[in-house]
Amino acid sequence: MTRTELWEIIRNGESSGVEFKCDTIENRNLAKEFVGFLNFSGGRVVLGVDDDGTVCGLSRVDDSSAPEGKRTYKRLEEWIMQICRDKIRPEIIPYFELFYDLEPGKDVAVIEVDRGWTVHHLWHENHRTYYIRVGTTTREASPEELERLFQRRGKFSAEVRAVPGATFEDLDFRRLKDYFGRIRQQIPSDDNEESWIRLLLNTELLRKEEGKYLVTVGGMLLFGKNPRKFLPHAGVSAFAFQGREKDYDFRERADFIGPMVPLLSEHGLVENGIVEQTIEFFRRNTRIEAYLEAGARRIERREYPEDVVREAIVNALVHRDYLLSSMDIEFSIYSDRMEFISPGSPPNGVTVESMKTGCRAARNQLLSNIMRDYDYMEKMGMGILRKIIKGMKEHNGTEPDIIVDGERTIMRLWKEKK
C-alpha cells in the first residue's frame, strides 16, 4: 500500500473493510475487530487514526526519546502478533505495515487480515465469542447468523441438524419403506424399529442427541408426516397473477406443504409430494398453445416446458437456505414470465456465472442425493445448464435470468423473447 492509498482510505472513513483505532485499545477489543473481519471478507485495522479520521499517531514506540526517522515499533508488532496467537482461535498471522510521519511526528500502522477459511472466535477468560462485521461495526453474531456462517465456511450443514421434538414417529413410514425398499433395496432384514433407527442414523435422516433419536431437517423435509409442524418455512407459496405485476387480482393462490417426495406403489402414484403439487398448480395456470408446423402438422405445447419447470422447482427446494426461516419458496406465474424465489444466496462462493456454466456445489447434499434417487435431478448435478437453460432456448429462444438479491436467489423464465 502506498501513502497515497492510505490517505485515500482515511479520507473515505470507516467501512465494512476498514476500522480506525488508537493503539491504546485493549488487546481483546483489537482481537474482536480482527475476528469480525475474518468472519466477513477480510479487512484492515488502521492503528494511529481516531474514529473521525484524525491522525493521532502511535504511542507504543520502543523509545519515545528517539529522534525522527529513528523510531521503532518492535514491541507494537510483537503485541499485535501475540494477540493474534492468544486471543484468536484458530490463530492467525496478519500482514503488518508501518507508515512513518503520515503527519509530522505521527506514525501509523496498518494490520490487514484476509477472509478466514474457517469460522474464527475471540478467546478471552476461557470463553469463546463469535463476532461478525456489519457495516462499520463489529458485533457478536446471533445464533442464526453463526449457524449460517458455519454453513458458508463448510463446517455446518443445516439439513443434518436435529429438529427439536421430532422423533421417529413423526416420519411417514410408508414413504420410508417405499424409498428404502423400491429404490435402495435396503429394507432391514429384521424390519423392526431398532433396525430402522440404525439405518436412518447411518443415512443422516436421524441424529442422536442427549440420548434421544431426533429427525434431521433433511429427514423431516423429505419424509416427515407433517414437516410444517416443525419447520414452518418448509413449503412452497404459489401465485398465479393476471398481469405482469404482483397484486391482489390473482387467478389462484395456494400453499403446498408436506414431504418433498411422493408416495408410490407398484400400481403407481398414491400421494403427491411438494414437487408434484406445484407442478399441478403450474398445469392449471398455464395454457396449451397450438400451431402448425411445416407440412401443416398440428403441434401442441404448453407455454413453458414442464421438465424445465420441474427442474426449477426441485432446484429451489434442494438448494434453498433452510437457516432462513422467514419465508417459503415463492413460485409466481405472471402474464409474461414465471419466477422461482428461493431464500438464501448461492452457497460456498458460487456465482451466477458459475451456476450457468454447470457449477456443482450443493448446499444440501443429503437432499440432492435423495432427490436424484427419485430421478428429480440431473445425475451429474448440472440441471441449470442442461435442463433449464438449454430447455428454454430450445423452447422459445430465451435465456433464463438468475438474480441474487440479498438473501434471495431468483430464477426467472420468460414466456417469449423480449
* Phi and psi torsions of 307, nearest 5°: -65, -30
344: left (phi over 0), alpha (psi -120 to 50) or beta: left
Judge contact between 343 and 321, C-beta under 8 A: yes
**Cα separations (Å) of 7 from 37, 211, 416?**
21, 59, 52
Closest to 85 in 3D by CA, of 118, 123, 39: 123
| Confidence at 294, pLDDT banded by 50, 70, 90 | low
State mean pLDDT over 150-179.
87
Please, where in the chain does CATH 3.30.950.30 lie?
A: 3-143
| Confidence at 132, pLDDT banded by 50, 70, 90 | very high
Coil, helix or strand at residue 356: helix
Q: By CB neighbour count within 10 A (0-12 exposed, 13-18 middle, 19+ buried), where does 101 fall?
A: middle
Separation of alpha carbons 310 and 321, rounded Å: 19
**Percent of the chain residues past pLDDT 90, beyond the cut:** 66
State mean pLDDT over 155-178.
89
State mean pLDDT over 197-207.
94
**Cα separations (Å) of 103 from 55, 56, 99, 263, 372?**
7, 9, 10, 74, 64
Please, where in the chain does CATH 3.30.565.60 lie?
A: 232-414
* The pLDDT of residue 67: 67
CATH, domain 3-143, list 3.10.129.10, 3.30.450.40, 3.40.50.300, 3.30.950.30: 3.30.950.30
Judge contact between 326 and 343, C-beta under 8 A: yes
* The pLDDT of residue 176: 95
Judge contact between 408 and 320, C-beta under 8 A: no
* The pLDDT of residue 324: 77
State mean pLDDT over 327-334.
93
Model pLDDT for residues 359-414, shown as the tens digit of each residue: 766 788 899 999 999 998 866 567 888 899 999 999 999 999 999 988 889 999 99
Model pLDDT for residues 10-23, shown as the tens digit of each residue: 999 999 999 999 99
Highest averaged pLDDT of the listed ranges 140-154, 232-246, 284-298: 232-246
Tell me the Cα Rg of the chain. 28
Instruction: Kindly report the average pLDDT of the chain as a whole number.
Output: 90
Model pLDDT for residues 55-76, shown as the tens digit of each residue: 999 999 998 777 666 789 999 9
Fold classification of 232-414 (topology level) = Heat Shock Protein 90 (3.30.565)
State mean pLDDT over 232-251.
91
